[in-house]
Amino acid sequence: MTTLMNLQHYLADDQLSKVQILDLITLARDIKQQPENYSQALAGKSVAMIFEKPSLRTHVSFDLGINKLGGHALYLGQQNGKLGERERVSDYAKNLSCYTDTIVARVFSNESIEQLAHHASVPVINALCDLYHPCQALADFVTLAENFADLSQVKLAYVGDANNVSNSLMLMAATVGVDFTLVCPEGHGPAADMLMKAKTLAKNSGAMFNSISDINAIGQQDVIYTDTWVSMGDENPSQKAVILEKFASYQVNHQLMVATGASTVMHCQPAHLEEEITTELFDSDMSVVFQSAENRMWAQNAVLVTLLASN
Ligand code: NVA
């Protein structure tokens, strides 16, 4: 059992220390192994879940995960109007704080998450925004810890479009001390400030961090991670053919696994099979995508237990 550290919100990976992340991983694994010990952890507590975007894993894993902790989950889709349109985000936050003990939000803009956290009197969890997907990154690190005895020896590479998933992954890797290589086509790399954050964190932890566009320079890796080439909210049908052509040589496939020596492939899902990853590799023994999907629930439960113990 880990020491529950003080955590006010769960918004972005670079707001967490190495100790906090490692404690969350330990707690997630403990909840996974002994869920009965946590079956009343959220008894009498309720969690409001705001979803501006579609979701399968996030919605289901939060809802059923909260149920496993003895709490009540309330789904809020778009039936009350778009966040910030029918009423201000600040009023949304203040109203929900009257009834709930935690707010989970999947939003288009990071600004909405920041506003919710600023105005809510209860903890806020970022369930994906344009900049971060910290619940996914934590689940991925739980998965890495399950598959590799020593995280400090793991070489992790993300291949594809720099997005919310890669931002969270690289920041968490840099904080925890996992070697990370980011491989994105020219013009599809991370924003300069995000890159700077990752470099600074890696320098502090002593981890290697490398951002390149030449896929042939990827080097030896243990784990290859990929995600969709076009994220929710960025769809532009007229650009689809251009993207497919530009990203074609960044497809994660069997040849790339052989060339890098990687044993493990990861994807946050939903996967666009035969685009960023081949069906064969996604379905292969090297793939831990469903292990990570399950770990979403245990990781988020660790965040919920920690937040409610701290607040
Ligand atoms: N980068 C993807 C992740 C989906 C879970 C998106 O934002 O659409």
Report all structural domains of the chain as residue ranges with CATH numbers, in order of start. 2-133+294-310 (3.40.50.1370), 134-291 (3.40.50.1370)
CA of 84 from ligand 1 middle (Å) equals 22
296 among known catalytic residues:
yes
Instruction: Write b or e for each residue in 106-127: b if 16 or more Cβ atoms lie within 10 A of its Cβ, otherwise e.
Output: bbbbbebbbbbbebbebbbbbb
Annotated catalytic residue 63:
no
Nearest CA owner, ligand 1 atom 7: 231
Q: Whose CA is nearest to atom 2 of ligand 1?
A: 231
- Distance from the CA of 1 to the center of ligand 1, in angstroms? 32
Residue of 59, 133, 135 best suited for mutating to test ligand 1, as the one with most atoms within 8 Å of CB: 133
Question: How far is residue 52's CA from residue 77's CA, in Å, rounded to a whole number?
Answer: 6
pTM of the model: 0.97
- Per-residue pLDDT of the chain (311 residues), as tens digits, is 445 567 899 999 999 999 999 999 999 999 999 999 999 999 999 999 999 999 999 999 999 999 999 999 999 998 877 788 889 999 999 999 999 999 999 999 999 999 999 999 999 999 999 999 999 999 999 999 999 999 999 999 999 999 999 999 999 999 999 999 999 999 999 999 999 999 999 999 999 999 999 999 999 999 999 999 999 999 999 999 999 999 999 999 999 999 999 999 999 999 999 999 999 999 999 999 999 999 999 999 999 999 998 88
> Does residue 133 carry a catalytic annotation?
yes
**C-alpha of residue 132 to centroid of ligand 1, in Å:** 9
How many angstroms is it from 231 CA to the middle of ligand 1? 5
Query: Does the beta carbon of 205 sit less than 6 angstroms from any atom of ligand 1?
Result: no
